[in-house]
Amino acid sequence: MSAEERNTERKGSFRKSRERLGRVIETAVNIAINRGFVVGREVLVGKIPGIVVGYNIASFGQFVGNAYPLVVRTSLGVTKCSVDELRLA
C-alpha cells in the first residue's frame, strides 16, 4: 500500500477546514461587536474592570477566537474572553 492510499484526507482539505474555522471566528467577532464590545469599550470581567483592546483571531491553541473572541486588558493583565464572561461597564 502506498502512502497516498493510506492517507484518508483529500488534498486541500486542511486548507478548507482552516478557511471554515476562519469564517466561524469572523462570525464570533462580529457578534461581539454587534453586542457593543468594541475596541476601547470599558467592560467588567466579573467585578474586575477592563478595556477591550482587540479581537482574538487565533485558529489554534487553547483559547481560539471562536470561543474567546475578545482581548481585554485588566489591572491583572491581558486576557481572552467570551462575550458571556463580560458585561458592559
The Cα–Cα gap between 67 and 46 comes to: 18
Residue 7: pLDDT band (50, 70, 90) is low
Please say if the pLDDT value at position 64 is more than 70.
yes
Cα three-residue angle 45-47-51, rounded to 5 degrees:
45
**pLDDT recorded at residue 55:** 98
**pLDDT recorded at residue 17:** 75
pLDDT digits (tens, 9 = 90+) for 14-46: 566 778 878 999 999 999 999 999 999 999 999
